[in-house]
A and B are shown apart, each in its own frame.
Chain A
């Protein structure tokens, strides 16, 4: 910059780390001298090298090895990799027992993951308000003031985790799904164990939907305006348009509900999705190719899935979906950040209904577990993970060793949307030149709604370390403030 150019004093506000999300990230806000947000960035500072160091390993290790990149929803990676490797062994047409065991595993994990997020991570914000004192606005506060809800959250999570153990062998990092099938069925004893509590779980899941609906009823304006911005939406849907978390084809809608593409075979995802790399984050920015980098970004996860599907194939959740869609502007698509929680609880209800239906299916006691067919060298596996669409893409050589891996994880798909949410909320709540605790709280609430998993399993409970820096555009630090370090 030359001396004749006008220097603009820009403040940079850093939130590091963002708390009550999975993993580590930080937020920087660039604010000009008039107090306007000029840029918001959510940085993911963890590095995940799986795509590189899985190279050279045999393909059959993929479902067990790659799930190790996360301890929160490893089942998603386990199943996405298994679905991919099914193609490598020609086993994509699974036996009924194998497919239903995998579906049961997946619904169990969706149920526990959504319960964890809602009750443990988000209910403090929703029950006590975004501005409540930090000393109260945490899971301990929920246990103290709403013990019944806290117990429900724990027991729902436990139920889902037990389903995972019964299908994958372990609650975390199991081995159940193998290329072309599954390694166990569900015993009568295991089935009866789960059926004994199923009605209670359905009741609690209904209660959770009512709880979040109550929050919306109390604060309709806030819920409809907080972090609200138009976006595209991407998800899997079944061939008949139904919500399906395990398998289907890709559908994308724009912010008004118009179809961008539909029933796309996910093996061809590269024809529809591209990824952009930006220098300041390890997380890439995917976009819909036909719309370009600027306009092609999209939301994934519960909100996108409820928006995209034509119906939910379980009755209680479908009734809730119909009520939810009344929130859509113009009756087509909901574009508000806080509706993620509502959509997530509808999926929780769908998951437990789906678990009940599967438990009553005798195919789960079948013995035909593995399929083998024509071998292939390239494969794509997709699944709707709790946090959104998850892509696994691999190539192998003649010796069965992995030569290429590409993973687009759910949170990556939501990358631009989360940045937009941060910018929108920061613009709404920045109060003059003051860096206030409420501003920081609101930004975290916006990020948390997306249930981001920033690559590994860290739960942060307690004080939020906060670093605030005032810097000029050419990097001179004018002032800095540290808190809770």
Chain B
């Protein structure tokens, strides 16, 4: 049986259970820690590092670090803000993210976190990589230009849909989202109801011909910026 413990985040004491990941404990307590690859319905991945906090002075990914009694955690300080911004900016320049006409604008988590952190322009030069659009599926489009390799679709397809449609292939800067080993999307058993589509934070995976149906001003983050329901840490 899990034991109730107390941890401190930015000076606020919160109760949680032994072994609960810090990020989940914070969100459950109404404290927002910025994050991207984490999704509440999926096991943690720890790949994007946006949720990095200082645990007793050490930098740790809060989504994969279990809470322990008495932990003193810092999430809201200038150094962490700058590190998070740097990570988000790298994600922007590493892909081709054209928010100005992207159909996910206003409901994209990458854009929402960038706004939240106050990013105006990336400090790094854009790489403008050559990436493909896989529109071979009748109902779904995979736009690699927007993929941030968070692995959400991989986990969702594996653990929720039981289909194993996606995987992360190759390594380092060459890492890319693979589809069912070497196939195109149209050759997989992906369906429009799959959880894998629902969890994509950036619109790399989209249901075709549903774009722009929600007017500007009524989109997910237009009125409720990401994290605004929580007490608010940067």
Task: Mark A residues whose CB is within 8 Å of B.
Answer: 56-58, 60-61, 63-65, 68, 89, 168-170, 173-176, 178-179, 183-184, 370, 399-401
In the complex, A58 Cα to B137 Cα: how many Å?
A: 13
Contact across chains for A64 and B141 when beta carbons are under 8 A apart:
no
Give the distance to chain A from B202, nearest Cβ to Cβ, in Å.
15
In the complex, A178 Cα to B103 Cα: how many Å?
A: 11
Contact across chains for A173 and B212 when beta carbons are under 8 A apart:
no
Q: Which of B186, B209, B212 contacts A175 (CB 8 A)?
A: B212
Chain B contacts for A173, CB-based, 8 A: 100-101
CB-nearest residue of chain B to A89 = B209
Q: Which of B100, B133, B213 contacts A58 (CB 8 A)?
A: B133
In the complex, A140 Cα to B214 Cα: how many Å?
A: 41
In the complex, A63 Cα to B213 Cα: how many Å?
A: 13
In the complex, A183 Cα to B209 Cα: how many Å?
A: 13
Chain B contacts for A168, CB-based, 8 A: 216
Interface of A is mostly: loop
20 residue pairs A–B, Cβ–Cβ below 8 Å: A57-B133, A58-B133, A58-B211, A60-B212, A61-B101, A61-B211, A63-B212, A64-B101, A65-B101, A68-B100, A169-B215, A170-B216, A173-B100, A175-B216, A176-B215, A178-B213, A183-B212, A183-B215, A401-B133, A401-B135
Verify if B208 is at the interface (C-beta below 8 Å from A): yes
Please report which residues of chain B, range 90-133, place their CB below 8 angstroms from some CB of chain A when the two chains form the complex. 100-101, 103, 133
Verify if B11 is at the interface (C-beta below 8 Å from A): no
Chain B contacts for A68, CB-based, 8 A: 100-101
Chain B contacts for A89, CB-based, 8 A: 209
Verify if B136 is at the interface (C-beta below 8 Å from A): yes
In the complex, A176 Cα to B133 Cα: how many Å?
A: 25
Q: A400-B208, A401-B135 known; A60 and B215 CB under 8 Å?
A: no
Known: A176-B215, A178-B212. 16 other contacts (CB 8 A): A56-B133, A58-B211, A60-B211, A61-B101, A61-B103, A61-B211, A64-B211, A169-B215, A169-B217, A173-B100, A173-B101, A175-B216, A183-B212, A370-B213, A399-B135, A401-B133
Give the distance to chain A from B111, nearest Cβ to Cβ, in Å.
15
Q: A56-B133, A58-B141, A401-B135 known; A183 and B208 CB under 8 Å?
A: no
Q: A60-B103, A65-B101, A399-B136 known; A169 and B216 CB under 8 Å?
A: yes
Contact across chains for B208 and A58 when beta carbons are under 8 A apart:
yes
Please report which residues of chain B, range 198-234, place their CB below 8 angstroms from some CB of chain A when the two chains form the complex. 208-209, 211-217
Q: Which of B101, B136, B209, B216 contacts A179 (CB 8 A)?
A: B209
Chain B contacts for A174, CB-based, 8 A: 216
Q: A173-B100, A399-B136, A401-B133 known; A60 and B209 CB under 8 Å?
A: yes
Chain B contacts for A400, CB-based, 8 A: 135, 141, 208-209
Give the distance to chain A from B215, nearest Cβ to Cβ, in Å.
4
Tally of A-B residue pairs with Cβ under 8 A? 56
Could you say which of B133, B186, B211 has the most chain A C-beta atoms within 10 Å of its C-beta?
A: B211
CB-nearest residue of chain A to B186 = A399
Chain A contacts for B136, CB-based, 8 A: 399
Contact across chains for B215 and A175 when beta carbons are under 8 A apart:
yes
Chain A contacts for B211, CB-based, 8 A: 58, 60-61, 64, 178
In the complex, A12 Cα to B97 Cα: how many Å?
A: 45
Contact across chains for B101 and A58 when beta carbons are under 8 A apart:
no
Chain B contacts for A183, CB-based, 8 A: 212-215
CB-nearest residue of chain A to B222 = A169
Give the distance to chain A from B82, nearest Cβ to Cβ, in Å.
31
Chain B contacts for A169, CB-based, 8 A: 215-217
CB-nearest residue of chain A to B98 = A65
Give the distance to chain A from B27, nearest Cβ to Cβ, in Å.
31
In the complex, A64 Cα to B212 Cα: how many Å?
A: 9
CB-nearest residue of chain B to A88 = B209
Chain B contacts for A184, CB-based, 8 A: 215
Chain B contacts for A61, CB-based, 8 A: 101, 103, 211
In the complex, A458 Cα to B212 Cα: how many Å?
A: 28
In the complex, A173 Cα to B101 Cα: how many Å?
A: 8
Contact across chains for B103 and A64 when beta carbons are under 8 A apart:
yes
In the complex, A57 Cα to B101 Cα: how many Å?
A: 11
In the complex, A399 Cα to B135 Cα: how many Å?
A: 5
Chain A contacts for B212, CB-based, 8 A: 60, 63-64, 175, 178, 183
Could you say which of A57, A58, A61 has the most chain B C-beta atoms within 10 Å of its C-beta?
A: A58
Give the distance to chain B from A407, nearest Cβ to Cβ, in Å.
16
In the complex, A430 Cα to B219 Cα: how many Å?
A: 58
Chain A contacts for B209, CB-based, 8 A: 58, 60, 89, 179, 400
Give the distance to chain B from A177, nearest Cβ to Cβ, in Å.
9
Give the distance to chain B from A67, nearest Cβ to Cβ, in Å.
8
Give the distance to chain A from B10, nearest Cβ to Cβ, in Å.
37
Chain A contacts for B217, CB-based, 8 A: 169
Could you say which of A61, A173, A175, A370 has the most chain B C-beta atoms within 10 Å of its C-beta?
A: A175
0/1 string, B172-205, CB within 8 A of A gives 1: 0000000000000010000000000000000000
Give the distance to chain B from A75, nearest Cβ to Cβ, in Å.
14
Chain A contacts for B103, CB-based, 8 A: 60-61, 64
Please report which residues of chain B, range 133-147, place their CB below 8 angstroms from some CB of chain A when the two chains form the complex. 133, 135-136, 141
Give the distance to chain A from B50, nearest Cβ to Cβ, in Å.
28
